[in-house]
Amino acid sequence: MSENPREGGAGPSPGRSGPSVARAGAAGGLLPLPLATLLAVFLALFLAFALTTPYFLTAENLLNMARQMAPDLLVGVTMTLVITTGGIDLSVGSLLALSGSVAALLMQAGWSWQLASLLVLALGAGVGLIHGYVVAVQRIPPFIVTLATLSALEGLALYLTNGYSIPVTSSAFDALGQGWILGLPVPAVLAVLALLAGALVLNRTRTGLHITAIGANEESVRRAGVNVVATKVWVYVASSVATALAGLIVVARLSTGSADVGSTFELDVIAAVVLGGTNLFGGEGTMLGTFLGTLIIAMVTNALILLHVQPALTQVAEGIIILGAILGNEKILAWQRSRRTG
């Protein structure tokens, strides 16, 4: 997970793998087969839940689901970039909790919500810089680096809050998590804008090409003159800033900052990204897949809650569905690779 097994060896030329297939599918007016399969899974689950789950299709429930999945999608966009480089960021759950806790503490201390939010975003950027420096410059595996910061950030959040929830009383700030824009939840709008920006970067810019190429064969990209260090630092900073923003959204939605928020957040985000078809070893990434993966996980969670399934069994059901979908997608990807190489 932390090191690309293809690095330094014979591998595909930079940018030749994931994006070329995706763009070819787009050019032909058809979705790539893995994404088409994932879309079929989503539609099948949506139909099943619509027929069996009371209130699932109500506008109130669908909008609530969009609001709740927004932080996952927001961080999923930047996690897609990180994983496409062959990296990983396990610290997003802890940083989410720390960001919300710091924001709540600052506003409780009399800071304006604007200044508190800016400081939290700067905190996120600082964490991302640390990740990027240690991973890209010191060449420490990202799994180890972000596992260490996961523990450190979680402990810091608990220390600052003493384990208590910190209430937020600013109605203006709460609008970030509870407000509406043109009848849509503000968090959902922000997440969709991030998704569009991420898709543009990954599929239509030189930076996106470099991100994919680094995951496919980092040494070849370095020899081609690409600034690998700067690209890696950028994706980790983007991941941490997006996580800090997600933390602000969550605390605004709940009107409370807590160190307990985000305990399984990193697992949900990574699962959604991999479920969507992004290669966990790097070299292939898809924003549309991340969107569908996030949507499937949010939909399953929402439907099982509406069906009054016990929380423990809800996690079991989620795990089975996600694992089944990921295994199916991997089979399709392996079949496609065998056809291309054959």
In a domain, 99, yes or no: yes
The pTM is what?
0.86
Do residues 240 and 131 touch, judged by C-beta distance below 8 A? yes
Do residues 101 and 157 touch, judged by C-beta distance below 8 A? yes
- Confidence (pLDDT) at 314: 73
- Confidence (pLDDT) at 6: 37
Confidence of residue 1 (pLDDT cuts 50, 70, 90): very low
Tens of pLDDT, residue by residue over 269-328, are 998 998 888 988 889 899 999 999 999 999 988 998 888 888 777 778 777 866 776 677
In a domain, 13, yes or no: no
- Confidence (pLDDT) at 65: 95
Report the distance separating Cα 331 and Cα 34, nearest Å: 9
In a domain, 40, yes or no: no
Report the distance separating Cα 9 and Cα 6, nearest Å: 6
Report the distance separating Cα 232 and Cα 136, nearest Å: 6
Residue 194 pLDDT > 80: yes
Torsion of CA 173, 179, 180, 184, to 10 degrees: 110
> The domain that contains 283 carries what CATH number?
1.10.3470
Report the distance separating Cα 60 and Cα 316, nearest Å: 26
Domain that holds residue 135: 63-335
Residue 148 pLDDT > 50: yes
Strands (DSSP E) contained in the chain are: 166-167, 180-181, 184-185, 256-257
Confidence of residue 340 (pLDDT cuts 50, 70, 90): confident
Confidence of residue 10 (pLDDT cuts 50, 70, 90): very low
In a domain, 148, yes or no: yes
Tens of pLDDT, residue by residue over 68-82, are 999 999 999 999 999
In a domain, 15, yes or no: no
In a domain, 341, yes or no: no
In a domain, 51, yes or no: no
- Confidence (pLDDT) at 335: 79
**Looking at the 3D structure of the chain, how many domains does it have?**
1
The fraction of the chain above a pLDDT of 90, given in percent, is: 66
